[in-house]
Amino acid sequence: MKKKRKFDAFPYLLLLPVIASSVLFSFYPFLKTIISSVAFTDTFGNWTGFAGGTFWSMMLKNDEFWMILWTTVKFAIANFIGTFFMAMLLALLSVKRTKLGKVYQMLYALPVAMASAISSVIWKSFFSQNGILNSWLGTNISWMVDVDKSFWVVTIVTVWCHIAGSYIYLLAGFRGVSEDIQEAAIVDGANSFVRAFKIMIPMASPQIFFVLFVNIVNAIKTFTQIKLLTAGGPAKSTTTIMYDVYVRAIELGEFEYACCLSIVLFILIFLVTRIQFVLENKFVHYE
Amino acid sequence: MKKKDIVSDIFKILLGIVLVLPLILAASISFMPKADIMKIPFELNLSNATLENYIHSFKYMNLLTYFKNSFIMVGIELPCKAFTALLAAYAFSHFEFPGKNFLFTLTLTVMMIPGEVIIMSLFKMIMGWNLIDTYAGLTITGLVDVAAVFMLRQNMLSIPKSLHEAARIDGCGRMRYFFSILVPLCRTVVAAYALRGFINIYNSYMWPLLVTTKDEMRTIQTGVAQLSWSSHSGLVLAAAMITSIIPLMVYFFGMDSIVEGMTAGAVKN
B41 preceded by cis ω (within 30°)? Answer: yes
Mean pLDDT along residues A100-107? 85
pLDDT at residue A281 tops 50: yes
pLDDT 10s digits, A115-127: 999 999 999 988 8
Contact: B231, A128; criterion CB under 8 Å: yes
Give this prediction's pTM: 0.90
What ipTM did this prediction achieve?
Answer: 0.89
pLDDT at residue A18 tops 90: yes
pLDDT 10s digits, A208-228: 888 989 999 999 999 999 999
Q: Shortest CB distance from A121 goes to which of B113, B225, B248?
A: B225
* pLDDT of B262: 62
How confident is the prediction for chain A on average, in pLDDT? 87
* pLDDT of B264: 56
Assign A1 a pLDDT band (cuts: 50, 70, 90): very low
* pLDDT of A130: 77
Contacts of B105 in chain A (CB under 8 A): none
Could you give the maximum distance between any two Cα atoms of chain B, in Å?
79
Q: What angle do CA A199, A273, A105 make, to 5 degrees?
A: 45
Cα separation, A180 vs A155, in Å, equals 40
**Which domains does chain B carry?**
58-263 (1.10.3720.10)
A177 vs A77, residue with greater confidence: A77
Cα separation, A32 vs A180, in Å, equals 54
Residues found in chain A: 287
pLDDT 10s digits, A149-202: 899 999 999 999 999 999 988 988 888 777 777 788 888 877 777 877 888 888
* pLDDT of B260: 65
Contact: B113, A245; criterion CB under 8 Å: no
Decide: helix, strand or coil at residue A42.
Answer: coil
Range in A46-50, A73-77, B95-99, B211-215 the model is least confident about = A46-50
* pLDDT of A133: 82
Contact: A29, B221; criterion CB under 8 Å: no
| Alpha carbon of B256: minimum distance to chain A alpha carbons (Å) | 10
State phi, psi for B50 to the nearest 5 degrees. -145, 160
Contact: B121, A33; criterion CB under 8 Å: yes
Decide: helix, strand or coil at residue A132.
Answer: helix
Q: What angle do CA B53, B54, B56 make, to 5 degrees?
A: 65
Q: Which of B160, B198, B202 is nearest to B66 (CA)?
A: B202
pLDDT 10s digits, A252-268: 988 899 999 999 999 99
Contacts of A94 in chain B (CB under 8 A): 12
- Note which residues in 61-100 of chain A have CB less than 8 A from chain B: 90, 93-94, 98-100
Share of chain B above pLDDT 90, in %: 55
Range in A12-26, A42-56, A256-270 the model is least confident about = A42-56
State phi, psi for A82 to the nearest 5 degrees. -60, -50
pLDDT 10s digits, B34-91: 877 777 677 777 888 888 889 988 988 889 999 999 999 999 999 999 999 999 999 9
Residue type, B182: L
Assign B261 a pLDDT band (cuts: 50, 70, 90): low
pLDDT at residue B266 tops 80: no
pLDDT 10s digits, B119-173: 999 999 999 999 999 999 999 999 999 999 998 998 899 888 888 888 888 888 8
pLDDT 10s digits, A58-74: 888 888 999 999 999 99
Assign A4 a pLDDT band (cuts: 50, 70, 90): low
Contact: A138, B41; criterion CB under 8 Å: yes
| Alpha carbon of B225: minimum distance to chain A alpha carbons (Å) | 6
* pLDDT of B269: 35
pLDDT 10s digits, B198-238: 999 999 999 999 999 999 999 999 999 988 877 788 889 99
pLDDT at residue A3 tops 60: no
Residues found in chain B: 269
| Alpha carbon of A2: minimum distance to chain B alpha carbons (Å) | 13
Q: What CA dihedral angle connects A154, A156, A160 and A166, to 10 degrees?
A: 100
How confident is the prediction for chain B on average, in pLDDT? 88
Q: Which long-range contacts (CB under 8 A, 24 or more apart) does A267-276 make?
A: A268/A72, A268/A220, A268/A241, A269/A217, A269/A220, A269/A221, A269/B114, A269/B117, A270/B112, A272/A213, A272/A216, A272/A217, A272/A220, A273/A213, A273/A217, A273/B112, A275/A213, A276/A209, A276/A212, A276/A213
Residue type, B20: V
Range in B26-30, B99-103, B263-267 the model is least confident about = B263-267
Judged on CB neighbours under 10 Å (0-12, 13-18, 19+), B125 is buried
pLDDT at residue B11 tops 80: yes
For B140, which DSSP code?
Answer: G
Decide: helix, strand or coil at residue A267.
Answer: helix
Contact: A121, B250; criterion CB under 8 Å: no
Of A134-143, A201-210, B39-48, highest mean pLDDT: A201-210
- Smallest CA–CA distance from B111 into chain A, residue: A26
